[in-house]
Amino acid sequence: MQDELHDAKEKLEVYRSDASLARTLDADVQHTETTLATLPRRIAARRAQIAEESWATETFAGLPEIPIASYDRSFASVRKEDLSLIAPRLAAEIPKKSHLWADWTVWNFRRRPVHRANAIPAEALRRAQASLAYFEQLEVWHAVGMADPWLVGGVRLPSRRERFYLLYDWGTETTADREDLR
């Protein structure tokens, strides 16, 4: 232990004797101190993120999450590869109706809030009723150029991250049942 301490003191003297090395050492020390000061906050943020992820994974285990490439108030974009996994029938039908499929890397969906009085959303809401309590927003998403919409539930996690889940697909008539959510 004494030898290591002695070696460290010698190295420190060498660093201090050369102005360039001293500046480098001071910069390293400042960086290390800054990193150590922010470490508890970063660890707490990461733990909260892990807790959020595990809650969402457990709570929405039966529902496919819609990975959004980008979105605004009116549209959401889903990558073609992700769309093929979530809704293979829709991904197979779009190229038949639109020549743009080959040129685009994402496909757009028109977003509209659910109006519970409309007949089609009302039926989907009735079928998916058990799972709606978790969602802060319910929307009808329409793939651009296609007929069959989706009922989508959106939830904002404490980290302010939004997640969207497919609750009902009118094209395949798949629904989230009571057993899908715990």
Q: What are phi and psi for residue 54, nearest 5 degrees? A: -70, -35
Helices marked H in the chain: 2-17, 19-59, 80-86, 88-97, 119-127
* Winning range, highest mean pLDDT, from 46-55, 56-65, 109-118, 168-177: 46-55
| DSSP classification of residue 149 | -
Is pTM beyond 0.75 here?
no
* Residue of 81 and 129 predicted with greater confidence: 81
What are the residues whose beta carbons fall under 8 Å from the beta carbon of 176, sequence distance 6 or more?
62, 63, 128, 130, 131, 165, 167, 168
